[in-house]
Each structure stands twice: as structure tokens, then as C-alpha cells.
Amino acid sequence: MKNNHFPKWLDDAVFYEIYPQSFQDSNADGIGDFRGIMERLDYIKELGCSAIWMNPCFESPFGDAGYDVSDYYKAAARYGTNEDLKLLFDEVHKRDMHILLDLVPGHTSVEHEWFRQSMRADPNEYTDRYVWTDNVWEQPEGYASIRGISERNGSCAVNFFSFQPALNYGYYEPDPEKKWQQGIDDAGPQATIAAVKDIMRFWLGMGCDGFRVDMAGSLVKNDVEGKGTIRVWQDIRAFLDREFPDAAMISEWGEPDKSLQGGFHMDFLLHFGPSHYNDLFRCEKPFFAGTGDVSAFVEKYVESCQKSEGKGLICIPSGNHDMERLSRYIKGDRQKIAFAFLLSMPGAPFIYYGDEIGMRYTEGLTSVEGGYDRTGSRSPMQWDNTVNAGFSRAPKKALYICQDESEDRPTAALQMADEKSLWSEVKRLIRIRSQHKALQSRGRIEFVYAEKETYPLAYIRQAEGERILVVLNPSENQVTFPSEIVPAETIYFWGGEIAADSEVITVPACSAGFYVI
């Protein structure tokens, strides 16, 4: 399988993730909305980002912040109307930017009409829309279930929280003893796939540029190697190739060798799965905090690149709405070195709103909308030093989530006015990336130095005859590594430049640099 249609704009895309609840409130009700996002598009553009991923914005009881959809075709009233959303698409496009919506194909809310119908005893169009056993006393093995709340006699598999019933894409190898387990090609799973295509068709037709797909690897059940789920996505890929060849697709899967086979253009490396992403930013000793180990990450990364054979992009996010904020482990200027990494790696980089100013994880919050420990990473954006940091004119107690109350909390306004701020560094890095093909999504990478429990990390990026050496040393010591490379020109550095003789490169403590070789 090769991707025939690879949207050109992904070559140098830098994404910005917006959690719509917390970005900008335009009508003083304490929660972010589409109009608010429109007001802030110039900010995103000025930072240098060229694309947006927005978390789910559809009708929902918001038990899981909108990942429990009750109507896929309707924007949640709290954010605005479908017309407002269309206007947002238009405003994004006017600025030569793109926007991905969040598609949640694995489950719905229990309040979705499909599920209500599916709970009825009399057979109807939605009887097979979810994964049900045929007896309330039997639960689907390996999955939690919803049981005892339907007149239908059965238990329904759950995909995530207990109010998120699993949509039916079938079992990879249905057990012939269990008549209720369906195969991917049976009518129920096929109708689910058709329903998902309809939803995609609706929003793509309205002007969105593609989707970030929630739990993309979770569709087919008892599918240990993902082969059934890959097949489902290949079918959806064929539909997109026919009808929306420019739509961009990124999966929350965490296993690029699988998802890219499924026809996704991009997959995330995340805090779960085999990638060792956490070794870099979020563990007891993260590499970018200065005393960690990058070698397992690099080993796995190289393996993923080989296995996925350049079929698509492996994307490394600064964070997201499910992880602790980057700044919880990576302090102060080391965040600049972390961004030098994020913005010089292959794949499309994703910046989680607020990470560009080092927004902090807000400690000690009570869970909001199923956030639990994720809530502290979802607090409202800090724009300036006006009321509620410019996020909302609502009374403080009406805010969706409490903000960081520290006096020295970072704000966009302060950092934009300061040449030496994290914001300014991120902007500089994005600009440099945009000027060098070698640093962009599809440039090749070759690791030069990534040894166990030592620093620095060094790699060469390459495209169209240009070769750039990247050297990152977040440790507090000056370090050296053996290399015969002699850089020709420095295109970026922070914290000091490397010195090369013909055998060894010496790297200053706490530094990052890009060098043409």
C-alpha cells in the first residue's frame, strides 16, 4: 500500500492544538468558543503555525470533554453553531492555514440516538451498531461493559469510560461459539463504517481539512496485531482517495507501522504505546530535563521508520490534553532545547496550546468533565494580564477550569514582547524550519550520536542536497562526541555553539544548534 495522495501542505505543516473549552471565550460565559478561536487565529499565524487540530466540538453530555459524542452532525451549542464552525474554517483558510477536526469513531456517548435505539429489545436499524453480547449475564471478554440499563438482553462493550459504548466494527476472528460476535464484513460493522464515512463527508464537504482520529487503533475487537482495524482504515482511505484526496488524516494510535499501513498520513508518538516518548519529556528523569536517556527512544524511532517504510509521517507533539504539561518536568530554558528537538525532527510537529509560553500544569484541581489528572493541563490560555488573563470576561468562578493563579504565570503578551522568551524562541525555530527543506516533515534523518545515558543527542537532517546537523545538549555539562563532521555554517543556536576539530565535537552545556554541513 502506498499513499497516492499525500496532501502537499503537510510537507512543512506545523500544527497547533486547540482545546476549544480553554482557548478564548468571546461571550463571557466562562467557556471558550468558535468566535473566540477566530479572534486568536492571527496569534497562531504569527507564531508560525500553519495548521490547527481542534478537540471534539460536537454535541455531547461532556462526560469526557466531548469525546462522548451524542450528535456527530451538530456543533455543541456552547461553542456556537454549524454556521459559526463553517465561518471558522473560512477564516482559517483566508490565512492560508488548515484545520483538522477530531473524529471519534470508536464509541459514542450513551446519550447518542444510535445507542438509545440499540438498547431497545425490538430489532431496529441500530441493533448491531454497537458490540453487544446476546445475554446480560455474559460480558464481552477483555472489555468492560454496560449492562442492566437496557430492555435489550445483553451487555455492551465499553471503549473507554463506562458511558462510552463501543461501536461495532466486528471481531477480527469471531468465535463461532459466540453468535453475537460479528465479522468485519457482516452487515452491522459495514453499516458502522458507512456511517463514519457519512460523518466525514459532511464535515469535509463543509470545509474542514481532515481529521485527527481518536483511538484509531481500537476499532476491531480481539485484533491483537491490528490487522482488522488496518483493513477498516484502508477501506476508509479508498473512500477518501475517491472523494476527498486532499483531506489529511492523523491517528491517535502510537504505532506508525500499523496506522500508516491503514492509509493515515501521520501517526502520533504518545505517552502510551511502545515509542518511549515519555523518556524524553515525562518520567522520573526525562532526557530534556538534563539527566535522562534518549537511546531507547531513538532505537524504537529508527525501528518505526524502517517498519513504516516512509509511508507517512511520525509526529511528535509537545504535549496534549491527555498528558501533563511539558513544563511540569522540563523547566525554564530547557524547554527551548526541547522545542529545538520538536521543531527539527521529521514529521509534522504539534504544539499544544500554551506550551509555547511554558504554561504550567495547574496542580490540585478537582476533575472537570472527565479530565481527572488531565484537568491541570487543560486550564484556560493565559493571554495577558487583564482579567482572567484575557481568556474570558466572565466572573472568575464561572471559568471552565481554574487558571494558574501564580503571580508570575506566563502570558502570551509578555513573552511576545520579550526577545528572549520561550515564545520568541519557538517562533524563531518555526521560521528556521520553514526556510530549510531538510528540517521539514519529509527530510531524512540519520542519528549521529544517541548513546545510553549520555549527552548530547545529534542527528543529521537531509533533503534536496542540503544537510543539517542538529546537536542538542540539555545537560548541565559541556560534553563531547566523536565525529569527523566539520560544520560549514551555523543556522541556529541557543546557549552556545559547538566547536569541531577533525575527530571530536565539543558541545556547550545547555545548548542547541543547527549547522549546515
> For binding to ligand GLC (CB under 6 A), which residues are involved?
64, 67, 104, 160, 214-215, 252, 321-322
| 86, 35 contact by CB (below 8 A) | no
| 24, 32 contact by CB (below 8 A) | yes
Choose from Ca ion, ligand GLC, none: what does 64 bind? Cβ within 5-8 Å by kind. Answer: ligand GLC
Packed helices 334-342 and 422-435: angle between N→C axes, nearest 10 degrees? 20
- Sequence-distant (≥ 6) Cβ neighbours of residue 184 within 8 angstroms: 169, 170, 172, 190, 220, 228, 231, 232
Nearer to ligand GLC, 66 or 189 (CB): 66
Choose from Ca ion, ligand GLC, none: what does 11 bind? Cβ within 5-8 Å by kind. Answer: none
Choose from ligand GLC, Ca ion, none: what does 215 bind? Cβ within 5-8 Å by kind. Answer: ligand GLC
Choose from ligand GLC, Ca ion, none: what does 223 bind? Cβ within 5-8 Å by kind. Answer: none
| 285, 293 contact by CB (below 8 A) | yes
DSSP state of 365: P
Nearer to ligand GLC, 44 or 215 (CB): 215
| Cα–Cα dist 450/455, whole Å | 7
Nearer to ligand GLC, 36 or 63 (CB): 63
Nearer to ligand GLC, 268 or 481 (CB): 268
Residue 29 contacts Ca ion per CB under 5 A:
yes
| Cα–Cα dist 89/331, whole Å | 35
Nearer to ligand GLC, 12 or 223 (CB): 223
Nearer to ligand GLC, 166 or 337 (CB): 166
Q: How far apart are the first and last CA of the chain?
A: 35
Residue 469, C-alpha cell as written in the block: 546537523
| 480, 460 contact by CB (below 8 A) | no
Nearer to ligand GLC, 351 or 432 (CB): 351
* 343 alpha carbon, distance to own chain's centre: 15
Nearer to ligand GLC, 164 or 462 (CB): 164
CB of 106 to ligand GLC, least distance (A): 7
When CB distances to Ca ion are compared, the closest residue is: 33
| Cα–Cα dist 32/82, whole Å | 16
Residue 27 contacts Ca ion per CB under 5 A:
yes
| Cα–Cα dist 512/501, whole Å | 18
CB atoms within 10 A of CB 349: 26
Choose from ligand GLC, Ca ion, none: what does 33 bind? Cβ within 5-8 Å by kind. Answer: Ca ion
Which of these ranges, 25-33, 240-248, 318-326, 426-434, lies near Ca ion under the rule CB under 5 A? 25-33
Residue 79 contacts Ca ion per CB under 5 A:
no
| Interface residue with Ca ion, options 12, 17, 25, 404 (CB under 5 A) | 25
Choose from Ca ion, ligand GLC, none: what does 267 bind? Cβ within 5-8 Å by kind. Answer: none
CB of 252 to ligand GLC, least distance (A): 6
Question: Positive or negative CA dihedral for 511, 475, 353, 312?
Answer: positive
Residue 203, C-alpha cell as written in the block: 464535515
DSSP state of 167: B
Which of these ranges, 24-32, 140-148, 166-174, 273-281, lies near Ca ion under the rule CB under 5 A? 24-32
Choose from Ca ion, ligand GLC, none: what does 10 bind? Cβ within 5-8 Å by kind. Answer: none
Residue 39 contacts Ca ion per CB under 5 A:
no
Spatial CA neighbour of 68 closest among 146, 151, 169: 146
| SS3 state at 34 | helix
Q: What are phi and psi of 99, to 5 degrees?
A: -140, 130
Which of these ranges, 17-25, 135-143, 228-236, 346-354, lies near Ca ion under the rule CB under 5 A? 17-25
| Cα–Cα dist 140/157, whole Å | 6
Q: What is the dihedral of CA 411, 417, 420, 424, to 10 degrees?
A: 80
Choose from Ca ion, ligand GLC, none: what does 360 bind? Cβ within 5-8 Å by kind. Answer: none
Residue 303 contacts Ca ion per CB under 5 A:
no
| Interface residue with Ca ion, options 12, 33, 255, 333 (CB under 5 A) | 33
Nearer to ligand GLC, 159 or 411 (CB): 159
When CB distances to ligand GLC are compared, the closest residue is: 67
CB of 435 to ligand GLC, least distance (A): 33
Question: How far is CA 265 from each of CA 243, 271, 339, rounded to the nearest angstrom?
Answer: 16, 20, 23
| Cα–Cα dist 55/494, whole Å | 33
Choose from ligand GLC, Ca ion, none: what does 322 bind? Cβ within 5-8 Å by kind. Answer: ligand GLC
Residue 454, C-alpha cell as written in the block: 549520555
Nearer to ligand GLC, 372 or 395 (CB): 372
Residue 497 contacts Ca ion per CB under 5 A:
no
Residue ranges in contact with Ca ion by CB under 5 A: 25, 27, 29, 31, 33
